[in-house]
Structure 1
Amino acid sequence: MITRVNTSTSPSGAETAEGVPVRLGALVPLSRPGWVGAGRHLLAGLELAVREVNDSGGIGGRPLELVVRDTAADPERAAAAVDELAGLGVAAVVGEYHSVVARAVAARADALGVPYLCSSAVLDALTEEPTEWVARLAPAQSHGWRTYADFLLGAGRRRIAVVTQPSVYWATGTRVLRDHVAPHGGSVVELDANGLTPEALCDALVDHGATALLLLVGHAEPAVPIVRAVRSDPRLAELLIGAPAGQPEFAEWAELLGRDGAGIPFLRYLPERPGPLGEHVGKELGERLGEEPSFVAFEGWDTVTVLAEALRAHGTDRSAVAGAWPHLAVEGTRGPIRFSRTPGIGVWQWTWPPVQVADRDPADPDRFRILRTG
């Protein structure tokens, strides 16, 4: 059951009658400047899992209901949505793709005592202080981006340029890359996407002798014009373009850039070969989306499946859900999911989902190649 417009209802735990829905608040970017493609895939995964939970009897005979709110990549809007959802009686909050938004959601959920299972955001410091209320499925940024740095080093790319925009997410990623490649003789130079035209950026890359350019910028602007400019500059024919945040995973990337968008390595969180559950869910998601599902869609499905197990086994009271994190063991689409405490991370964390560095095959941009796993 998916609900997008709601009337007021009693607080979580107050309704126990059989047949009364158990509500989950879902936060997803469904409008600009949010990454709408990622939001659509995340929501598809959430919705499919809700349908399957309800088809199998719901939560103790009660249907699971998804109450969806669009964050539009706005932290303040997302935090206000957590307040609204808490008042509507949700048992927990799920979702979000953008790290800076998820951080605002986590802070508000912690303050209100609402369990939050973060689906897809990776910023290590999701909360300022350790909390019992928040858990996360996506790997920490430091874990995934170190794998990406190892890929660059293995490919002989040590003079790395990053074109970036102001954001704690991009700044943290840059620091992870620099700290990881420096001991191996690598270097990272930062170029300001807001201060350079794509053509001036190409000149700067030549001046720096860069062997790799990483796109730490928004999609589709300014990422797409930058790729087009670099691809058309003969001086940069040997330059590797990379997008660790995952832009090339989505169909919109291929639609906008065609073959220019191929051969651009990115991070995604999928196993090298899916198991039977992953194959089943992938087929269902593909039919729902009308395209190959991204890792974000699988994250959505896993999110609801994990919370359904928590709700069935530990009850729908918010404190009980938050207390369930360390006791859960759930078969997800990408492997067994368990949560633990990880040094430097203040939330309950799945350590770790599978990590791939992949790209679109230049010979067939609709086909993905796995370049490294970690």
Structure 2
Amino acid sequence: MYAPPSSPDAERADGSTVRIGALVPLTRPGWVEAGRHLLAGLELAVGEVNDAGGIAGRPLELVVRDTAADPQRAAAAVAELAHLGVAAVAGEYHSVVARAAAAKADALGLPFLCSSAVLDALTEEPTDWVARLAPAQSHGWRSYADFLLGAGHRRIAVATEPSVYWASGTRILRDYLAPRGGTVVELDVRTLAPTAVCDELVNNRATALLLLTGFPEPAVSIVTSVRRDQRLAELMIGAPAGQPEFAEWAALLGDDSVAIPFLRYLPQRLSPLGVRVEAALRARLAQAPSFVAFEGYDTVAVLADMLRSHGPDRARIAQSWSRVAVEGTRGQIRFSRVPGIGVWQWAWPPTQVVDRDPAGPDRFRVLHTTWEGTGAATTQIW
């Protein structure tokens, strides 16, 4: 790992702005809607920072690069942004892409605050150059497993594709559910057509099917087939990775989009800051903002606070994660070292299991929530 000395290249040559790089999936095969929400949050926060006087009187500038869900493209973007003199890099939604970006940022000695990727192993080795706002996958998916158990599900099937992210999720679910009487059966959607997935669900007497697959396909076709199979009328479909969060899900599936529980990272009630930001994001996006938009806003709020305290010095920023105490849209943000996770981690953002309401697909029902008190997380079924 390279740890450079304090460098003047963290500023533009004329010193007029302080620059942050932003990694966002804005084209396919990236999840474009997620990228649009993430960018909206980042840009809203940058605008507010500049309206309040910038960083010591200097404007904050966001330098955006489209990752298109491509790890190599993301790593190249980090190298380019480092050369351009950004003080830090922010963003990214896709976990595998964020992992490549984190590795490059660590190698170059460039602070990276990851907004929305959850894969536990964001870096191979512990590093001070990377921090993360989103909860680790193990935290969120265990909460989802608690929801499944509370709802009476013990025989669970996962429709899955090859991916480090999906494999990690399957392992987390299996390890958590097995000691509690649950079983997890994997259905490889590379070899099974949607109708064959339905047959396997019947043969395995599954009571829940989790979509650990890409969106829109094959997830949309699987949901459509399952919903139309009378043998599976009582089967619960779930999507812990959050596919139903975005409007495109409802637009493609219509009435079939509802009652599919997924994870999102919002509190039961937003703070006054969160309410104000929600209204501004809604106006910017012309639709209800997802939790990803709030993650984008909070990312810039954290980095702006660090830049005000330490200037655009990369090494000083990387040394100060442990001293962050910023009021974000979803609670106070602090970073700590969490066992088994090699980056500085906000432990933990509020976590919910929600679904689209059958009585109105544009509304969400909170089914289960996890929050942090003075000790272990507490859960409640709603």
Number of aligned residues: 363
Instruction: Give the conservation status (yes or no) of the 8 Å contact 2:11–2:17.
Output: no
**1:246-325 mapped onto 2 (5 Å cutoff):** 246-325=242-321
Query: Which of these residues, 225, 233, 250, is aligned with residue 229 of structure 2?
Result: 233
Instruction: Give the conservation status (yes or no) of the 8 Å contact 2:102–2:112.
Output: yes
Residue 104 (1) aligns with residue 100 (2): yes
Q: Report the alpha carbon displacement of residue 14 of structure 1 after superposing the two structures with TM.
A: 6.8
Q: Report the alpha carbon displacement of residue 314 of structure 1 after superposing the two structures with TM.
A: 1.3
- For 1:325 and 1:315, the matched residues in 2 are separated by 14
Correspondence for 2:130: 134
Q: Report the alpha carbon displacement of residue 267 of structure 1 after superposing the two structures with TM.
A: 0.1
- For 1:187 and 1:218, the matched residues in 2 are separated by 23
- For 2:313 and 2:55, the matched residues in 1 are separated by 13
Query: Which of these residues, 5, 10, 13, is aligned with residue 12 of structure 1?
Result: 10
Q: Which amino acid aligns with 1:165?
A: E
**1:155-194 mapped onto 2 (5 Å cutoff):** 155-194=151-190
TM-score (norm 2): 0.94
- For 2:83 and 2:157, the matched residues in 1 are separated by 46
Q: Deviations over 1:331-373 (max 9, x none)?
A: 0000000001010000000000000000001111111000001
Q: Which amino acid aligns with 2:139?
A: H
- Matched position secondary structure for 2:128: coil
Correspondence for 2:373: none
- For 2:319 and 2:177, the matched residues in 1 are separated by 39
Q: Report the alpha carbon displacement of residue 315 of structure 1 after superposing the two structures with TM.
A: 1.4
Q: Report the alpha carbon displacement of residue 324 of structure 1 after superposing the two structures with TM.
A: 1.5
Instruction: Give the conservation status (yes or no) of the 8 Å contact 2:12–2:18.
Output: no
Q: Deviations over 1:82-140 (max 9, x none)?
A: 01000101000000000000000000000000000000000001000000000000000
Q: Which amino acid aligns with 2:9?
A: P
Q: Which amino acid aligns with 2:88?
A: A
- For 2:92 and 2:58, the matched residues in 1 are separated by 25
Instruction: Give the conservation status (yes or no) of the 8 Å contact 1:217–1:223.
Output: yes
Residue 360 (1) aligns with residue 352 (2): no
- For 1:16 and 1:59, the matched residues in 2 are separated by 15
Correspondence for 1:4: none
- For 1:16 and 1:120, the matched residues in 2 are separated by 33
Instruction: Give the conservation status (yes or no) of the 8 Å contact 1:13–1:318.
Output: no
- For 1:322 and 1:233, the matched residues in 2 are separated by 53
Query: Which of these residues, 11, 15, 18, is aligned with residue 22 of structure 1?
Result: 18
Residue 243 (1) aligns with residue 239 (2): yes
Q: Report the alpha carbon displacement of residue 280 of structure 1 after superposing the two structures with TM.
A: 0.2
Percent identity of equivalent pairs: 74
Correspondence for 2:326: 330
- For 2:172 and 2:22, the matched residues in 1 are separated by 30
Instruction: Give the conservation status (yes or no) of the 8 Å contact 1:305–1:332.
Output: yes
Residue 152 (1) aligns with residue 151 (2): no
Q: Deviations over 1:283-309 (max 9, x none)?
A: 000000010000000000000010000
- For 1:258 and 1:292, the matched residues in 2 are separated by 17
TM-score (norm 1): 0.96
- For 1:16 and 1:136, the matched residues in 2 are separated by 31
Q: CA RMSD in A?
A: 0.9
Give the 4+ runs in structure 1 shifted more than 3 A.
Answer: 13-17
Correspondence for 1:6: none
- Matched position secondary structure for 2:141: helix
**1:39-54 mapped onto 2 (5 Å cutoff):** 39-54=35-50
Q: Specify every segment of 5 or more residues in structure 1 that has no aligned partner in the other structure, as ranges.
A: 1-9
- For 2:202 and 2:140, the matched residues in 1 are separated by 28
- For 1:22 and 1:304, the matched residues in 2 are separated by 12
- Matched position secondary structure for 1:342: coil
- Matched position secondary structure for 2:209: strand
Q: Deviations over 1:5-53 (max 9, x none)?
A: xxxxx72157574xx1111110010011111110000000000000000
- Matched position secondary structure for 2:185: strand
Q: Deviations over 1:211-257 (max 9, x none)?
A: 00000000101100110000000000000000000011100101111
